[in-house]
Chains A and B, each alone.
Chain A
């Protein structure tokens, strides 16, 4: 496999469920990101990990919990979500965190629907 892969591609969950989104990058990059994409809104940066250490947390509600066990894998654990959390969640990676000027490589996203 190449690039950045995300699973599942689609997820429907109730507000009381607990689920996780998974991201894997095969590019040898050291930084990984979670973005939220909602219709007609700019992409929202949620979390940044650099060398498995969380370096940015942009005031995201605690019902979203990231985990980065190694530089190739990133998870987003979800619990007690709200309907307004329904969105496309995009994972991205870059060579290093300092290369914000460099290219971000995105996965295809996980479409989340909260009922």
Chain B
């Protein structure tokens, strides 16, 4: 089984500042990793995913994440945020074997202020 920890429930940041949203996971097997974003009153949509290959993954809207196997982390970063990035961000993990479930974290609310 896998688990995901998003330690920061809320992250306030000023517009045009950089941001990092932290995600740590626990798993006894190899994993696939995902970040989803949920804008107000909407469902979740995929930002980016790590399946294999380069540990630095680029996603939509200028976000990127780095898979660090030794630290079991998959932190999400953006060098300069915009007001429109205000949303809830969910990290998720899945074991690479067939039949494994997608396990979500509790989410981090990113609030971008002027």
> Could you list which residues of chain A lie within 8 angstroms of chain B, going by C-beta atoms?
4, 6, 40-43, 45, 90, 92, 98, 100-101, 103-109
Contacts and interface: CB of A to CB of B under 8 A. Distances in A.
A100 B43 contact: no
Given A40-B9, A108-B43, A109-B43, A101 B32 contact: yes
A42 B100 contact: no
Contact of B94 (A6, A101, A109): A101
Interface of B: 4, 9, 32, 36, 41-46, 49, 51, 90, 94, 96, 98-107
Contacts of B100: 100
Contacts, number: 49
A57 B98 CA distance: 17
A42 B98 contact: no
Contacts of A6: 43
B42 to A, nearest CB: 5
Contacts of B96: 101
A43 B98 CA distance: 21
Contacts of B106: 40-42
A106 B41 CA distance: 12
Nearest to B45: A106
